[in-house]
Structure 1
């Protein structure tokens, strides 16, 4: 398969920037600089695909290039199925991915359908063509470790050791986020090539040859009070078990291995290649080895918690897999969302992101200046932008993420559209978000764990969110299953609006960027959270709350 990269510049091949923007986002997901396995159409997260197969990808590209400005393309689990005449303000693309009737909603049945070419797993932002590599998750990870520091260590991780694992597409954000909060990170990954890749791209500072060397270096930096990230080739179960057996207590412990998808989790004692071959040749033996490794992995995390470490699940369904493997107290440590991120959701604050379709980093730097000027009083936001501009290089189309709330998104979106109109930006901007947003997800082992009213598993909200965004005029809307935690464990929605500088785009932005996060505030107000309940009383709140 030939190398795929998104087009850049001002010239377009589609019939308007609404379609062109989506085409560029789709192809950007497969850029080799950010995608896990572009030749397999896998962007990230084990095997999150942007299209079902090569034929489907080609058909989607062709459909977008020929799509009229009053037509809508429908995508069924990564396969285009029809173009319908709708109207100009309707979405140009509507999609559903990996959805199964609840009784059959499990990995085993999903795999049977997948093998027959009937469905595909899109993770979250891969399936919705909004994946932008590590830059997409970096601020959320930075926010999480910032909240950990604030809650447990007086606001900084200076002099603290954080033990974690997984340097894949999502996990690679961890070392930067930890050091940005002042900490010392030891990050294990079973794939030595991945560790080297993160070292070359400056996602980690140092690569240790052994766990003993990693611990020695960590001790030196802790003594000096300086941050550093140390990459280590090793299986998480083995590394965490070593800490337990040698009675070494890190200050913080988490993990971002692909535990949600057991076919991507590497058993102890095997290299990634050996694991892949074993999974093909002896699937039952492979699964048994995976579950035994996960049992040891989770058992070690429970023991480290008992030894005094701050331990949390980072949203990969690890605790549930540990419970299945026989660890009865696997849920004795919390998930990151319920423990550290929920207060932000109550404000309608979440992973708002925008992508420069021109391909020129200067377009992003210009929007950074707008953010810094517009929200002068938000010191955390200023700290974030100063950090990311200094430490992070763009991959694929330049993009930025800021956790803006329900008021800030629409204000900023209007300014972006005006900048496109005036020519201050070289080309339109795609505005999207992660699926980890207040109204966008129902995930009882992650974002909606331990809801105040017990509504953890209520999946009405992401479905309503998708329907509302269709009605509000988003450019792309989708509803999906399983992102981050696996089939059967979540329902989530995605949305994208292309700010192309037109009056029509401004109407789309005004409606979507108010409605999308405002529904999140309503969701948390409905669940009984006081912060959200106070916000919906604001006369300027962009919805009439009925209940």
Structure 2
């Protein structure tokens, strides 16, 4: 497990239940304050869920056991009592590497599974596949009863399909669609298309005071952008992210470097970078700030099963965007760039690119930030625009008005969809 799931559930006001086979991992997250309760018994887990629902109290519960056992128990409760205890469900097992410890089969205890993995890898593989089939069967029953399930893009549905589980979509020739949508297809794709993604910064001073200053700068900048006026669909994103950054400090999210992550678009990222650089120059911040982003972003990954799964013009399996972004960032002043493979989905399934830029308070750093961040976001928005996403088209038109040197060829909409249907083979 990651601490992110239970922490996010509580921040959102939910009851979060996360299964983990490693007690060490659970205890670490609890010690960090990212997990409230640890339970080893499913009866106690069910009682805690019901109590939290009754009192309407946000809480995170870590179940020390296999997630398949948890799913199957939730099915049992539904069949026995008629009560659906789970409204939202997903999977974050490391199915990009399921046969080398990324997924532990329900048939074996944790230590025994490690021994079988080492001594009998073929048997381990068969057990994992059977476990995936059982897990999907339980998820399907809960989904049929009203639970909303989505794929995280961790290759869970891909590996489940390979194992023979019932996750397919009849008539799908692309291999990209499953019984359940990926959260990119369902939610994040449109957010990426508007240019919003996980912008990051690290205060190299290591000072919590500096992180607080950057949080306050971010609040001011987003309030200014909202006051200037943005389209309603963009405004909704800014309002959500403004709430996040206002509350981030109180949730005690830092476990190492004094760092923050904030979803922002081209305008927001650029203004944030320039404000940080100015604050380094005038001494408001004690030391340089490094800006970056996740590869899970607008332009940072070519990943047909996750980041680019909602690009439906036939280019989902190409890997040019991440490469162009990485190299383009280097030309425009990034302090370093990285090009890598497999991020979150598995080797051979995705190409990722990233960057780091040190804001040291100089005018040169400001120029690099403005030039590079505009490219880093606009490149991915353009690709999404070309695939027919209307939100990306809106973002591209706005960007061309605001960035004098930006020229993007705009796609032509098909007036009559029947023309395409008649041209393309069934």
TM-score normalised by length of structure 1: 0.67
1:271, distance to aligned residue in structure 2 (A): 4.1
The counterpart of 1:227, out of the listed 48, 58, 64, is: 58
Structure number with higher relative contact order (C-alpha < 8 Å, ≥ 6 residues apart): 1
**Residue 320 (str. 1) matches residue 151 (str. 2):** no
Structure (1/2) with the larger helix percentage: 2
The counterpart of 2:350, out of the listed 482, 490, 509, is: 490
Given that residues 481 and 490 in structure 1 are in contact (C-alpha distance below 8 angstroms), is that contact kept between their aligned partners in structure 2?
yes
Q: How well do the aligned residues superpose, as a CA RMSD in angstroms? A: 1.6
| Secondary structure of 1:334 counterpart | coil
**Residue 466 (str. 1) matches residue 326 (str. 2):** yes
- Work out the number of aligned pairs and report it: 378
1:29 alignment partner in structure 2: none
Q: What does the per-residue CA deviation read over 1:118-143, in whole Å, with 9 as the maximum and x for residues that have no partner?
A: xxxxxxxxxxxxxxxxxxxxxxxxxx
Distance in 2, matches of 1:254 and 1:387, equals 25
Q: What is the 5 A alignment of 1:331-410?
A: 331-376=178-223, 377=226, 378-410=238-270
The counterpart of 1:543, out of the listed 406, 420, 423, is: 406
2:146 alignment partner in structure 1: 308
**Residue 291 (str. 1) matches residue 129 (str. 2):** yes
Given that residues 195 and 395 in structure 2 are in contact (C-alpha distance below 8 angstroms), is that contact kept between their aligned partners in structure 1?
no
Unaligned runs of 5+ in 2: 169-177, 227-237, 411-426
1:252 alignment partner in structure 2: 88
Distance in 1, matches of 2:409 and 2:315, equals 19
**Residue 177 (str. 1) matches residue 38 (str. 2):** no
Q: What does the per-residue CA deviation read over 1:132-184, in whole Å, with 9 as the maximum and x for residues that have no partner?
A: xxxxxxxxxxxxxxxxxxxxxxxxxxxxxxxxxxx2xxx32111211222111
1:202 alignment partner in structure 2: 33
Given that residues 182 and 227 in structure 1 are in contact (C-alpha distance below 8 angstroms), is that contact kept between their aligned partners in structure 2?
yes
| Secondary structure of 2:108 counterpart | coil
| Secondary structure of 1:478 counterpart | strand
Distance in 2, matches of 1:288 and 1:207, equals 30
1:449 alignment partner in structure 2: 309
1:454, distance to aligned residue in structure 2 (A): 3.5
Distance in 2, matches of 1:528 and 1:194, equals 43
| Secondary structure of 1:497 counterpart | strand
Q: What is the 5 A alignment of 1:17-416?
A: 167=1, 171-247=2-78, 249=84, 250-262=86-98, 263-264=100-101, 265-330=103-168, 331-376=178-223, 377=226, 378-416=238-276
Q: What does the per-residue CA deviation read over 1:399-448, in whole Å, with 9 as the maximum and x for residues that have no partner?
A: 00000101111111011111111121111111000001111111111111
1:504, distance to aligned residue in structure 2 (A): 2.3
Taking a change above 3 Å as real, the CA distance of residues 381 and 510 of structure 1, as seen in their structure-2 partners, is same
| Secondary structure of 1:285 counterpart | helix
| Secondary structure of 2:402 counterpart | coil
1:393, distance to aligned residue in structure 2 (A): 3.9
Given that residues 133 and 166 in structure 2 are in contact (C-alpha distance below 8 angstroms), is that contact kept between their aligned partners in structure 1?
no
Distance in 2, matches of 1:273 and 1:424, equals 52
**Residue 504 (str. 1) matches residue 364 (str. 2):** yes
Taking a change above 3 Å as real, the CA distance of residues 280 and 314 of structure 1, as seen in their structure-2 partners, is same
Distance in 1, matches of 2:253 and 2:310, equals 37
| Secondary structure of 1:289 counterpart | helix
1:244, distance to aligned residue in structure 2 (A): 1.9
Given that residues 302 and 333 in structure 1 are in contact (C-alpha distance below 8 angstroms), is that contact kept between their aligned partners in structure 2?
no
Given that residues 298 and 318 in structure 1 are in contact (C-alpha distance below 8 angstroms), is that contact kept between their aligned partners in structure 2?
no
Q: What does the per-residue CA deviation read over 1:71-127, in whole Å, with 9 as the maximum and x for residues that have no partner?
A: xxxxxxxxxxxxxxxxxxxxxxxxxxxxxxxxxxxxxxxxxxxxxxxxxxxxxxxxx
Distance in 1, matches of 2:339 and 2:141, equals 38
Distance in 2, matches of 1:341 and 1:426, equals 35
Unaligned runs of 5+ in 1: 1-166
Distance in 1, matches of 2:167 and 2:19, equals 24
